[in-house]
Structures are given as structure tokens and as C-alpha cells.
Amino acid sequence: MLKQPEAAAMLKPSETVVYKFFFIYYKNMEIIIFGNELLRQKAEPVKDFNRELKTFLENFLNTMRKEKGIGLAGPQVGFMKRIFAVQTEKDVPLVFINPSIVETSQEMVKYEEGCLSIPKVWAEITRPETVRVQAWNERGRPFTLEAEGILARAVLHEYDHLEGILFIDRLSELKRNKLIAKFEKIRALGYADTVCGKP
């Protein structure tokens, strides 16, 4: 086995550079939790597709991955711009900038939803089965997407965040109050896993 100085001497300069890239750092963004007024504000359109936005998106997508969310919207990290990302299983993350909902199906479906900003509670929410959405991607290119199933669900949920709407707003008042009470209990207990009954 080589001694340390000898091993170091064997490295060519280019190899030393490569080593540095084994460590990828990113700033983990803090997710804003229910009760924070930012979640109730309408987000502003993105005007510049600049370097700042690119850096933001890298951290944003990493945060979404780390938190195991299938979607995340700007306001959830205090970035009050019209931007969200969705990543359903296996797929690469899709970034939606300045999105507009072009069309939704008449058919409505019920599906269980949760939100990283209201952790540990879930509820069945009725929404359109399919959606057509127009937006710009992270490179500033426009696209239109027709989505169904979980993807449509995630798009509609995240779009709501840009309008200051939360999934619990789509419940009846009685159900909403029950869910909020449950959430407040969990919050008071410090989000203990033992009370949530779900992983």
C-alpha cells in the first residue's frame, strides 16, 4: 500500500479536479408550514429566465426530492413566483413556469392528497380527471401538457398553491375543520410519527 504523500503524487492534476465533484452541495430550502400567510398569497409571474432562476431551481428540485414530494410550488419555500415542479414515480421532474390551466375534464375523480406544507394529514379530494396545462420549462421554452391520473392531480394541486389555495380548501367546512384540528394536534406533538398512522 502506498503511503499518503506517494499516493497524492500519483494523481495527475486533472484527477484532482475530478475528485472535487464527488461532493455535490445544495442549499436545502425550508418548507413553509400551514399558518404562514405566504401560503395564502398569490404568486407573481416569473419575468427573467436568468442564472438566479437556474440556481433557485437546482435547490428547489433537490428539496422536493429530499422531502419525497411529488410536487412543490414556489410559495411553499417562500419564493412568491408562479413556478412549480412535479415528479411522479420514475419520471424526471417537470418544471412549470407561469403555467395556465387551459382545460379540465368534466369527469371528476376522488383521490387521497397530502401536502408538504400540511404534513402528516391526508384527505380525499375531488378534482377533474384530466388537465391541459400550458407553461414554460426551466430553459424558457413553452410547452403544453395533457395529464391524467396522478400527474393531473399533482399539476392541479401545485397550481392551486400559486393562487394561495390549499387542498384543504376543497373540503367541506366540517371536514376541513376536522383535518385542521388533527393537524394542530400533530403539530403540538412535534409531528411525531406515532400519531400519523401513515409513513
Catalytic residues: 158
Please, which residue, 53 or 168, has the CB nearer to Zn ion?
Answer: 168
Catalogue the long-range contacts made by 135-139 (C-beta closer than 8 Å, 24 or more residues apart): 135/96, 135/97, 135/98, 135/99, 135/100, 136/46, 136/49, 136/96, 136/97, 136/98, 137/94, 137/95, 137/96, 137/97, 138/49, 138/53, 138/54, 138/57, 138/95, 138/97, 139/49
Q: 123 with 168: CB under 8 angstroms?
A: yes
Query: Does 77 participate in binding Zn ion (rule CB under 5 A)?
Result: no
Please, which residue, 46 or 156, has the CB nearer to Zn ion?
Answer: 156
Which among 70, 6, 77, 1 is positioned nearest to 38, based on CA atoms? 77
Q: How far is the CB of 199 from Zn ion (least distance, A)?
A: 18
Near Zn ion by CB under 5 A, which window of 1-9, 12-20, 104-112, 115-123? Answer: 115-123
Query: Does 168 participate in binding Zn ion (rule CB under 5 A)?
Result: no
Please, which residue, 49 or 65, has the CB nearer to Zn ion?
Answer: 65
Near Zn ion by CB under 5 A, which window of 47-55, 92-100, 108-116, 144-152? Answer: 108-116
Q: How far is the CB of 161 from Zn ion (least distance, A)?
A: 6
Query: Does 115 participate in binding Zn ion (rule CB under 5 A)?
Result: yes
Please, which residue, 94 or 115, has the CB nearer to Zn ion?
Answer: 115
Query: CB 186: neighbour CB atoms within 10 A?
Result: 18
**Number of residues forming the site for Zn ion (CB under 5 A):** 1
**Chain residues in the site for Zn ion (CB under 5 A):** 115
